[in-house]
Chain A
């Protein structure tokens, strides 16, 4: 039984790592687009870099949610009802973003395109920020009662620490998006602009991350675990190395190092949380863990087989997508729908 719960804790970690890595640069591109250029053609070019893949990337988040539901239904129930209004805002943002990608090119009027560009910006920055807040709240602990019900309200989710968490996510994803764009664009002017924006986001992100670690030390027990502490420090090392290369000669190296930073911070978070998934600030015994929140062994065993068969297949065809669209995006690509 314990084995299956472990497997699913690891699978949830994998799904969230995939989600933050893939949607991280998607959100970043969406956030950067309006700042890189005022020209509609340029924005079209920038958004075209994620056009074929963003929808598939978003499924990582949906699958992470579905996997939580199937493997740890109590976590799904408590987490989603706790973050009720926050999730509403996130859903509104994701709805606007999803529809905007489809509709923005369907009408030539500038005000139409500007409206949907704004929707993509909001739809990218709001989820990034809210995920930062949510992850921070999960670690810091929330007033969860003995029967796993949240006892606070929306405002209890927001404090200095969680807002800083949101900020770190926004800045790091913006940087991650800039590093991705460096691999996808050709136009020198745009590349230069992306680089200076990315440097700015990356530097602010690095500083914010230091403060974030300090507050994490103060507010949680995550850093008392050597493995988690190591991963959080590795994150800083990866990120600074990435930023250094990005400032000198952005390319594959800086993108991969940045991706490693995103992965190691996610894995570090779950390592620090283990075996908990939500911490109760009222009583440590009331925290939701992989034992008291899980599905039955029967359900977990079936889902394990399904996941171990299906996840590799998904990876194969998603990698194939990136292979098909491996060429840098030029103005010629945008004329197609």
Chain B
């Protein structure tokens, strides 16, 4: 067994798994902090208690998710040294800094204040407690920022110089202000809000349909959640659009592969579907919309887009003969899955939000009953998105500087990696079953009645 291939699989499995929880953490911390702010600031006394219970309700779901996110995150930090020691040697001078800064600025902040938030309900004033919720949200977002600074360097290296047999940092500011970070971070933040928004709608929808006692409260949650979700999806679309436009200059190979565009085109068409023949550098057949791809990239129906074959020839001239094409089939379809899921989620947000706001939810009962089926959509979109980001960088681990094949720890045997890969996969499978079981039972068994004493129209 090949240690390189198995290590790649292990990293893929553990990162994808880790990123099931990360976007939920990003989105749910903000949601919970917003709810707690409502609880602290609301002037309507009959809303005080339901608000507090909602904070605890979504807080508990957040905590279950957060614990899985944290423990799977430690695995990722250790991974760079365990499986990719040559990468760590070559990149350590640059890559280590954002990782250490992530620990110093973000991990301490979120973990410490999470402990206070969990156990400090009657030890702190409501305002200070609410402040802790916001500090957790800031910590989670700082964490995402720093790790995406590190990741952006792998996609688009800046602020470095090659000497002493490794990449050495010579401009920290350039590293942090890498334009790639702006796209990656905003996209990740909004996808987090989207993922959390879908979970909020699914949980609230289920309570609305199945729990009469909590119906009134969760109708409010459905309205607010739909707005939150819509903000997320629109943000994710906008940031994705902006980032793709930037990719035309920063990473043309990834861009062309997403579209399975083999030859230069002006104006470039958008392929709705294509049968990809990577071996012969072409599509066996495709359905195209003329000039749409140029329009998406340049905001006008003209403009040249480089094809895969052109970029491959350019890279061969620059880095020596070789195949610099990623898995075009995977990228092409991942992009369509991601965008398709995003579109579907936007429709859901509008439909649920409008019906809830107009008090018409009961007229379309099947909408809420089918809502739980949409839960996988954001996770599918997140995974597809990361496949584009990381798969699209192959065969490089750091574009233009180091190949994935050269990054592996030389002392590992295939057997060792196979053991750990099987171990992680099995453990992760058991944990997600346990966590889902606990979360579903919690949602089912927790009721939040509306406080009727003071009257509903107070």
Interface check B231, CB cutoff 8 A: no
Residues of A close to B78: CB separation below 8 A? 65, 80, 87, 91
A318 at the interface (CB under 8 A from B): yes
Q: Which of A51, A70, A107, A311 gathers the greatest number of chain B CB atoms within 10 Å? A: A70
Smallest CB-CB separation from A83: which chain B residue? Answer: B82
A59 at the interface (CB under 8 A from B): yes
Interface of A is mostly: helix
Least CB distance, B218 to chain A, in whole angstroms: 21
Residues of A98-121 whose CB lies within 8 A of B: 98-99, 101-103, 106-107
Let me know if A253 is at the binding interface, CB within 8 A: no
Residue B409 lies at the interface, judged by CB distance under 8 Å to chain A: yes
Q: What is the 8 Å Cβ interface bit string for chain A, positions 63-95, against chain B (1 contact, 0 not)? A: 101111111011011111111110110011011
Q: Are A102 and B441 in contact (CB under 8 A)?
A: no
Partner of B115, one of A52, A68, A73, A295: A52
B416 & A66 in contact (Cβ 8 Å cutoff): no
Interchain CA distance A83-B82 in the complex, whole Å: 8
B355-412 contacts to A (CB < 8 Å):
409-412
Is residue B77 within 8 Å, beta carbon to beta carbon, of the partner chain? yes
A336 interface residue, CB < 8 Å from B?
Answer: yes
Q: Are B60 and A337 in contact (CB under 8 A)?
A: yes
> Residue A82 contacts which of B74, B107, B411, B419 (CB distance < 8 angstroms)?
B411
Whether the Cβ atoms of B438 and A56 lie closer than 8 Å is no
**Residue numbers in B under 8 Å from A63 (CB-CB):** 100, 103-104, 107-108
Residues from chain B with a CB closer than 8 A to the CB of A159 are: none
Residues B106-125 near A (CB distance < 8 A): 107-109, 111-116, 118-124
Known A-B contacts: A62-B107, A154-B416. Give 4 more (CB < 8 A).
Answer: A77-B85, A85-B420, A88-B423, A95-B74
List B contacts of A68 (CB < 8 A): 96
- Asked if A66 and B108 sit within 8 Å, CB to CB, the answer is no
Q: Count the B residues whose beta carbon is within 8 Å of the partner chain — how many?
A: 72
> Which chain A residue lies CB-closest to B68?
A99
B31-80 residues with Cβ-Cβ distance < 8 A to A are 56, 60, 63-64, 66-68, 70-72, 74-75, 77-78, 80
Knowing A76-B81, A91-B75, A106-B442 touch, does A69 contact B99 (C-beta < 8 A)?
yes
Q: Which residues of chain A are near B75, meaning CB under 8 Å?
A: 91, 95
Task: Report if A307 contacts B (CB, 8 A).
Answer: yes
Q: A residues within 8 A CB of B120?
A: 52, 324-325
List chain A residues, Cβ under 8 A from B103: 59, 62-63, 65-67
Contact (Cβ within 8 A) A306 B101: yes
- Given the complex, which residues of B lie within 8 Å of A87, measured CB to CB? 78, 82
Chain A residue nearest in CB terms to B120: A324
Interface of B is mostly: helix
Q: Which A residues are in CB contact (< 8 Å) with B442?
A: 106
CB–CB A69/B92 < 8 A: yes
The reply on B156 being an interface residue by CB < 8 A is: no
Which residues of A have CB within 8 Å of B92?
69-70, 73-74, 76-77, 295
Cβ 8 A contact of A81, one of B93, B411, B419, B438? B411
Least distance between B84 CB and chain A CB atoms (Å)? 8
Q: In the complex, what residue of chain B is closest to A151 when comparing beta carbons?
A: B411
Contact indicator B93/A84 (Cβ below 8 Å): no
Name A101's closest neighbour in chain B (CB-CB): B67
Contacts of A78 in B (CB 8 A): 85
B89 located at the interface, meaning its Cβ lies under 8 Å from any Cβ of chain A in the complex? yes
Given contacts A59-B103, A73-B93, A81-B412, contact A318 B438 (CB under 8 A): no
Rounded to whole Å, the gap between the CB of A334 and the closest CB of chain B is 10
User: Would A336 and B423 count as touching, CB distance under 8 A?
Assistant: no
Least CB distance from B17 to A in Å reads: 11
Segment with Cβ contacts to A, from B283-291, B316-324, B326-334, B427-435: B427-435
Q: In the complex, what distance in Å separates the CA atom of A336 from the CA atom of B115?
A: 13
Cross-chain pairs A/B with CB under 8 angstroms, 7 sampled: A59-B103, A69-B99, A71-B96, A80-B80, A80-B81, A103-B67, A299-B97
The answer to whether A81 touches B85, judged by C-beta atoms less than 8 angstroms apart, is yes
Q: How far is the CA of A317 from the CA of B131 in the complex (A)?
A: 13
Write out the residue numbers on chain A whose beta carbons fall within 8 Å of the beta carbon of B97.
70, 295, 299, 302-303
Q: How far is the CA of A95 from the CA of B75 in the complex (A)?
A: 9
**From B421, which residue of chain A is reached at the shortest CB distance?**
A88
Residue pair B82, A80 in contact (C-beta under 8 Å)? yes
Of A56, A67, A149, which contacts B410 at CB under 8 A?
A: A149
- Pairwise interchain contact A91-B170, C-beta atoms closer than 8 A: no
Determine whether A6 belongs to the interface, using a CB cutoff of 8 Å to chain B.
no
Query: Are B88 and A73 interface neighbours, CB within 8 A?
Result: yes
Q: Contact at B64–A52, with CB atoms within 8 Å? A: no
B259 at the interface (CB under 8 A from A): no
Return the chain A residue nearest B64 by Cβ: A102
Q: Which residues of B contact A54 (CB under 8 A)?
A: 115
Query: Within 8 Å of chain B (Cβ to Cβ): is A291?
Result: no
Q: Which residues of A contact B172 (CB under 8 A)?
A: 298-299, 302
Contact A84 B105 (CB under 8 A): no
Is B302 part of the contact surface with A, judged by Cβ < 8 Å? no
A56 to chain B, nearest CB (A): 4
Q: Say whether B111 contacts A76, CB under 8 Å.
A: no
Q: Are A295 and B96 in contact (CB under 8 A)?
A: yes
| Residue with the greatest number of chain A CB neighbours at <10 A, chosen from B60, B116, B435 | B116
A306 to chain B: which residues have CB within 8 Å?
Answer: 100-101, 104
Q: Is A196 among interface residues, defined by CB-CB distance under 8 A?
A: no
